[in-house]
Structure 1
Amino acid sequence: MELRAMLAGRSSKRQLFLLPGGLERHLKIKTCTVALDVVEEICAEMALTRPEAFREYVIFVVTNRGQHVCPLSRCAYILDVASEMEPVDGGYMLWFRRVLWDQPLKFENELYVTMHYNQVLPDYLKGLFSSVPAGQPSEQQLQQVSKLALLQHRAKGHSHLPSVQEMQDYIPAQLYRSLAGSVWLRLLGQHRQQTQALSPHQARAQFLGLISALPMFGSSFFFVQSCSNATVPAPCILAVNQNGLNFLSTETHELMVKFSLKEIQSTRTQRPTASSSYPYVEIALGDVAAQRTMQLQLEQGLELCRVVAVHVENLLSAREKRLTLPPSEITLL
């Protein structure tokens, strides 16, 4: 395919990459351009120049109207991916997303802040970053949620207090239902003076700073239909992050069961059986001597395997770095 393209004088093309929130970047792709090159180019726009930062971002190919999401290997050739996808699904998309969150957040660069704000906002509004109490939220939680709501309003450039209808869009539904709309408006009013002078960029930066302290911030979330492990009540939500596999309650989002990254030996996808419409993911846990297998049934099986792989690779890379002696400490025998 590459030879035919080169003979026809087409050795490069403009390729669209989508960042969270519908932000678009058209990049010039050559026959030798791999996913890592694209990551580095977009990172440079966000004022990120260190290889440690590049490792945290991934290019995803999205097909079937967003139903199928697959992270690309860092060495995947973008033109090859495009050539394979175009005949199969002309509406395919290439997404740029952050998967690892080891590096501290930065708040100076506008594209960086906007991209990260847009990526985490939908998960925050689903209430996934922290547990939602069954009863009345604490005063501290109410204050934090109302301030975050006002920061979202300010991020849109609005300086007036939001209406009850607008306010509903800024507060996780489970929490919003715990109080009357008039009470929420009063709580928001308490933070108006602190947020009014902020620019939309500053409001997004402050929002990110506040939610980065929440327990499940920096996770990739998956809805699990069923699980073969008796200790994991399903259906449930799986949050994958640097601490491992965290199984959360679908109702309260409380942590029920956790497996560390060190316990994961391997992952693989399995095709759906005749009685099931969803594929399975098989995860081997434990150590080489005593392994146990856990089967998860979910839609985004391949995406889960790749995201887990990125986290495990990062863990092994960090461990390797710690075990490698610096040149000054190496003694020639």
Structure 2
Amino acid sequence: PFQSLLFLTKATIQESLISLRNKKTSRRAVESFQVLMQFMGDQPKPRGKDEIELLYELLKLCREKENLRDEIYCQAIKQVTGHPRLEFCARGWSFLSLLTGFLPPSTTLMPYVTQFLQDAGRSQELARSSQKHLQQTVKYGGRRRLPPPGEMKAFLKGKMLRLLLVHLPGGVGYKTNVGTFTVAAEVLEELCGKMGITEPEEVQEFALFLIQGEGELARPLRPQEYLNNVLVDPKTSLHSRRLGWETRLHFDNPTYISTHYSQVQRDYLQGKLLVGAQADAQVARLAALQLVSRTQEAPPSERDLLAYLPRLLQGQVNVAAIQSLMDQELRQLQGCSAQEAQIGFIEAASQLPLFGYTVYVVLRASDLTLPRPSLLGLNRQHLILMDPSSQTLCCSIALRDLQQLHLLSPLEAGRPPALELNYGSADSPQTIWFELPQARELQYTIAFLLNSS
């Protein structure tokens, strides 16, 4: 019985604590117990091995030999129970705290481990952290990849948290502390909490994007990904943005308003929210709302006004006509606060054809009848292609109809890669490819949306 195991042993065990049918596995169990005692300090370390190497040995054994996992859980619990040396006992608890964050015990042992941690947690802080780590492992699957030695050393010294910078739209940085077992979902929940977002359906509409270098690779992190597993390269950075727009927008929090405004404004200025060259009044209103959002008193010159227009429109519109219309809009907006102008901008932009989509510029497609270039819009339901000149919908594919995605190497020297989509039914299979610089990001984002819907 489990309770009979909870007695400290000062000597190495001669057989496994739980019944193991395989003699070789039982022998490995005896060896692992000796490694645990060496790590805790109850026995001298082997020559040439330090505590980190011993720790790796134990964790690798648990990861590679599933039939030894319960045994090593029992061994750790046995050695922290009633240990007279606080320093050695703390080392045992450190190991248990790490183990619970990586791999859970079997469903048979789980109730006993949970009860043990609850009882010990009344007086032992590391027992409480072990309990939290185990709950995370059950919820998110455990951190399978072992941390680098530097992180392991910091953990043993009690330095479990580190500062993380998340880049928000508009160039705003958000700082938070992440631990050894923090997952993307926890940081997203925290970020959304700052924006007053508490409903799980709306939280799920946001994603953390991992960006390498100067944007060579951007991919959304799955909610259950452990951040310390992916943030190993100093050239990587985390960026947050909204991917889904199905939940009704609510402007009841200043951080919510400014974050959404920055994302929508960036997409608008990059030409990802279609607005026609003939829509002078619409463009003038959006320019005026941007001006008031910046609390800029004096109207801009014709040259400065271009900064408030989408890049693609700058050479196509009559700037003098737009400035005249904008002056009228500014008179109507007198007394409007910067925050009210930001809300007004989001509401006006929400009427544009590609609002609510993540937009990519496609240079060409396998279907030669499609315009070149065209805008590809992606949301949780559809992938669509639009002609940026006529704003005509040229192609629509339901994500549920996608069968496979293939990243294709550049079709010609000097060209970007392409993404091939296989979709449709078994009776009527169809294939199309799109050539675009962000082909890999598009592949990752489609996969993310499929898995989260």
| Normalised TM-score (structure 1) | 0.83
Mapped to 2, the partners of 1:297 and 1:178 lie a distance apart of 26
Where does residue 115 of structure 1 map in the other structure?
259
Equivalent of 2:419, from 261, 281, 285? Answer: 281
1:284 deviation in Å?
1.2
1:240 has 2:378 as partner: yes
Stretch moving more, 99-108 or 178-187: 178-187
Structure 2 unaligned blocks of 5 or more: 1-146
More helix by share: 2
Find out whether 1:297 has 2:441 as its counterpart: no
Match for residue 145 of structure 1?
Answer: 283
The answer for the alignment partner of 2:274 in structure 1 is 130
Q: What is the match of residue 327 of structure 1? A: none
Structure in which a larger fraction of residues adopt strand: 1
Cα deviation for residue 181 of structure 1 reads 3.3
Bigger Cα Rg: 2
The verdict on how the C-alpha distance between 1:228 and 1:79 changes in structure 2, with shifts beyond 3 A counting, is same
**Pairing 1:211–2:211 present:** no
Conserved 8 A contact 1:159-1:196: no
Q: Tell me the CA shift for residue 106 of structure 1.
A: 1.5
Residues 132 and 254, structure 1, Cα contact 8 Å, conserved in 2: no
* 1:23-102 alignment runs, 5 A limit: 23-83=172-232, 85=233, 90-102=234-246
Corresponding position of 1:324? none
Match of 1:328 in 2: none
Pick aligned residue for 2:306 from 168, 172, 188: 168
Counterparts of 2:267 and 2:155, CA distance in 1: 43
Whole-Å separation in 2 of the counterparts to 1:39 and 1:186: 43
Match of 1:322 in 2: none
| C-alpha contact (below 8 Å) 1:131/1:252 kept by paired residues | no
Q: Distance in 1 between matches of 2:311 and 2:360?
A: 19
Q: Please tell me whether the aligned partners of residues 132 and 174 of structure 1 are also in contact (alpha carbons under 8 angstroms).
A: no
> Deviations for 1:174-198, whole angstroms, at most 9, x for unmatched residues?
5454554332222112112321211
In structure 2, the residue matched to 1:258 is: 396
Counterpart position of 2:446: 308
Structure 1: any 5+ residue segments left out of the alignment? 318-333
The answer for the alignment partner of 1:268 in structure 2 is: 406
Higher normalized contact order (CA 8 Å, seq sep 6+, divided by chain length): 1
CA distance in 2, matches of 1:127, 1:235: 13
Letter in 1 for 2:188: V
| Paired-residue identity, % | 29
2:39 matched to which residue of 1?
none
Which amino acid in structure 2 is aligned with residue 206 of structure 1? G
- Residue in 2 that maps onto 1:222: 360
Equivalent residues, number = 304
Go from structure 1 to structure 2 and tell me whether the alpha carbon gap of 1:243 and 1:306 turns closer, same or farther (over 3 Å shift). same
Contact 1:56 1:101 in 2 (8 A): yes
Secondary structure, counterpart of 2:170 in structure 1: helix
The aligned counterpart of 2:123 is none
Decide whether aligned partners of structure 1 residues 273 and 151 sit closer, same or farther in structure 2, where only a CA change above 3 A counts: closer
Q: Contact between 1:100 and 1:311, CA under 8 Å: does it hold in 2?
A: no
In 2 relative to 1, CA 243–131 (structure 1 residues): closer, same or farther, beyond 3 Å? farther
Range 42-51 or range 6-15, more displaced: 6-15
CA contact (8 A) 1:231 1:257 kept: no
Q: Following TM superposition, by how much is the alpha carbon of 1:44 offset from its aligned partner in structure 2, in angstroms?
A: 0.2
Provide Cα deviations, 1:252-290, integer angstroms capped at 9, x if missing partner.
554322223333223232444684653332211102333
Deviation track 1:222-246 (CA, whole Å, cap 9, x = no partner) reads: 1223322344344422111245122
Deviates more, 1:269-278 or 1:240-249: 269-278
| Paired position in structure 1 for 2:248 | 104
CA gap 1:19/1:8 in 2 versus in 1, 3 angstroms: same
Q: Which residue of 1 aligns with 2:331?
A: 193
Paired residue type of 1:301: A
